[in-house]
Structures are given as structure tokens and as C-alpha cells.
Chain A
Amino acid sequence: MPTPLVVSDVAKSFTMHLRDGIKLPVVAGVSFSIKAGECTVLGGPSGAGKSSILKMLYGNYAVDEGQIIVKHEGGLVDLAQASPRTVLAIRRQTIGYVSQFLRTVPRVSALDVVAEPLVERGEERETARDKARSLLARLNLPEKLWMLPPATFSGGEQQRVNIARGFITEHPILLLDEPTASLDATNRDVVIGLIAAKKAAGVALLGIFHDHDVREAVADRIIDVTVFAPGKLAA
């Protein structure tokens, strides 16, 4: 199995300059790889650094130490050192991300929020919208909401828009930050189906799932994040 993403010895801490520069270590010595066609799950209690790891892999958090090697457009790139421009290209072509919460843009319809990543990859707007429609329908989002901006949607509705936006493209790597947290059982099953389809298509998935049933259904491998607790490294 190809490994499109390899993380080695990554460390992350926050320095709070407004609080006399106290340093909050988050994780250290993070090393793992993910495989194409598999769903790897980050496990561990809240605060263990699961989301921080995902955010580093998406370039949303800076990395203090270590390497994140991504297979991108035929070459290998260290995302931890990459320029903003390279990170943007990686996000467009290689790494997709379903965040926990949708960041809405005023006046942009749910349909266009979902279609946008495809348009950015050069797809025709109407083709992208068609694909967005079928995904939103599959996720049971009422059709009357499609043309409305998602700012006023319920948590579950926003999350489905977010999932559709993340799943619409064919990124070879997909990061999922609790995509099913506020979904009902029916829609959880839809997401499980979507994840299975991504695996079958050879996508490497890395996710955080607090929902036990979903985790059981999708995980091929669980990485316990507590082994990356900063104190452990010294021991």
C-alpha cells in the first residue's frame, strides 16, 4: 500500500506571549504514516492533541519540529517547511479537510459553498454544482436550503454542508475532524458509506471520531495520541 503521508518526530507547543510567555506543550515525537485505501483514526481523550495534529497536517497550525512528508503532484514535499503558496497548492490538489465547524461566508449559498473546492480545481461551475446537489441530496439536506447561505442553519445541517464540501473532490488524502459529531443515526450511516467509498477509491483517510459506532465502522487502525504526550518523550 502506498503511504502518501508520513509524519516523523513532529512537536507542537503554544507560547502565550500575553501570559508572560508561558509555554504549553501539546504533542511531541509524533510519528506515524497513513496508507492509501485505509482509514486511520486518532484516538485519545479530549485535549490529547488530536485536532492539533490534524491542523498541522493541513498547514493550519505551525509545526515546531519534525517533518510532514506529503506525496504531492508526483514529488515529496515537507509540509512543515513548505511556503504558504505550496501549502495552498497541497490543499487544492492533495489534502482535503472536513473541519469540525463550518466557517460560513456571508451571502454564499450552501450549494456554492460545497461546489467551491471543485471550482478551485478547475471544474466548470455548473458541473461542480450538479455534483454538489447530488451530495447534498445523499446527505438528506432539504432542497429548500440549498440556495440559502448556511449561517442560519442548525448544527447538523451546517455539518452536512461541511461534509459535502470535504467529500466533493478527489483529494488523495482526506482529514476528518469529528465529521459525525452532531448528526442523527441516518446521516451517520450516510457518512460511513461515503468514507467506505473513499477507501475503495484509494484515498488515505485520517480522522477523529468520538462516536464509538462510527469509529468501529470505519477504522482500519487506531493511533493512540496519548503516546505523543510531551512528558513521555523525556521518560
Chain B
Amino acid sequence: MTDEPLLRVAALSKFYGSRVGCDNVSFDLWPGEVLAVVGESGSGKTTLLNCLSTRLLPSSGTASYRMRDGQFRELYRMSEAERRFLMRTDWGFVHQNPADGLRMTVSAGANVGERLMAVGDRHYGKIRATAVDWLSRVEIEQDRIDDEPRAFSGGMRQRLQIARNLVTGPRLVFMDEPTGGLDVSVQARLLDLLRGLVTDLGLAAIVVTHDLAVARLLSQRMMVMKDGRVVESGLTDRVLDDPRAPYTQLLVSSILQV
């Protein structure tokens, strides 16, 4: 564990005209930490995620990222090319809909291999071997490597998207409702897989979800958002077991008991 955060976010705001996307969000994220951002639709959690991953530029505020050389760089002052490079190498982004994060008409193996080529790998045999290894880590049978993700089930596509993102050994992964739209049994498998990978690889992750059970399982820390603002934050189990803000109490009390 290092003493410096990986990401420092200060007073980040995004306005869409006069409407609030997210307002004055600040936090630090350390290596190996998983932060869950929860809230209902329209609470600003996806806007926040898109700003942090530089897919969207904020209206004000700063976010600095500690590069592999140990230097902090202000994300919104980087050139577009530098940001893209970061996105391809040091970061991952797992979309809710795997079709947004995969190339649906190239093979599973190529989907994983493509990210490796982006970081400079050129040896075909090595790339294929790494792809096979990663497919097995996300529990995709080796004989599916030449199939296109179009022919995969939703759960498989999501696992493939995860493999594609993690193959380059990123230090920070953004996830937008990674288990949304999956059956519960498929969800459980995916969550278990994610949990294992995050622990084994020491990844830092920011996971946006409306599902408090997903937050409980994956994250150590949690931020609750409403109307673009963070209404409560803290240790995940503290926020869920002893919610303080009225909105968090409403969220927690709305969970259906099985």
C-alpha cells in the first residue's frame, strides 16, 4: 500500500445548461480500493463516472491521476492523445451494455488481443496465448476464442468485456452497472469473478451501481448521490448498516428481503 492516492478529485461539477449533472464532488481513491457510487437514475452517478474517465469534460473542478512514474497529472489539462493513451493502457472501462465496450464483429480472441496490440505487443503467438489465458480467467471456454461476441450470451459478453479491459494490467477500472441486465445467477458468478480479480490484481475501481448488494459485495467505500450531490459517504458497511442521511435511509429501507 502506498501513502499517496491514485486519483484525487476536487470540487468536480458538471452542468448541462442550467441543469445539474454532478455538483461539487471531492474524494481520493487509493490503489487497491473499490469505491461504489450509488443512487437512483438521474442522481448524477454516470455523469460523474464519465467525467472521471474523461469521456466527458466537467464544467469546473479538478481530477489528478498519479501516473506510473509517480507524478500527478491534471486529467483535464492533458491532450486528447494522452488521455486516449491512458484509457487504452492504464485504465479500463466496463460498460453496462457489453456491446458498447466490445467489437461485436471480431472474434473474442481479437477483442482481447486488440488491447494488447494497443500497448505495443506484436507477437501473434504471445498475444493469442495471453488471450486464451484471460478467456479462461473469465471462464470462457477455449474453443470459443474464434467466435464473435454476437454469438455469446449476455453474461459471457460481460465477462469478455472484463477480460478485454483487464488484459493490459490497468491500475484503475471504471464500471458502469457491470451486472445490470443480467440474471441473478449470472450476476452472482460475475460478481464473484470481479471480486477475485480486483483482489488478486490489486486494482482500484470506481463502480457505479444502483444495486446496494453489488456495492456491499465489491466495494470497501461508498458514496451515495442524489440530485448530483454526494449526500453520504464512508465505509460501505457503515453506510449500509448505519445510514445517516435521510436519502440513504430511504435507499437502505427499500431493499427487498429475500
A residues engaging B (CB < 8 A)? 14-18, 55, 59-62, 84-85, 87-89, 105-108
Contact = CB atoms under 8 A, between A and B. Distances in A.
Contacts, number: 51
Task: Tell me the interface secondary structure of chain A in the complex.
Answer: mixed
Interface stretch (B10-18, B62-70, B94-102, B234-242): B234-242
B249 A16 contact: yes
Interface stretch (B73-81, B141-149, B184-192): B184-192
B103 to A, nearest CB: 30
B210 interface: no
Given A17-B249, A18-B250, A61 B242 contact: yes
Interface of B is mostly: helix
B217 interface: yes
Interface residues of B, number: 23
Interface in B189-230: 189, 191-192, 195, 217, 220-221
A87 B242 CA distance: 15
15 contacts: A17-B246, A17-B250, A18-B246, A18-B249, A60-B241, A60-B242, A61-B242, A62-B238, A84-B234, A84-B238, A85-B33, A87-B235, A87-B238, A106-B192, A107-B192
B241 A105 contact: no
Interface of B: 1, 30, 33, 188-189, 191-192, 195, 217, 220-221, 234-235, 237-238, 241-242, 244-246, 249-250, 253
Contacts of A85: 30, 33, 221
A57 B253 CA distance: 24
A62 B245 CA distance: 12
Given A17-B249, A85-B33, A105 B217 contact: yes
A18 B235 contact: no
A89 B234 CA distance: 14
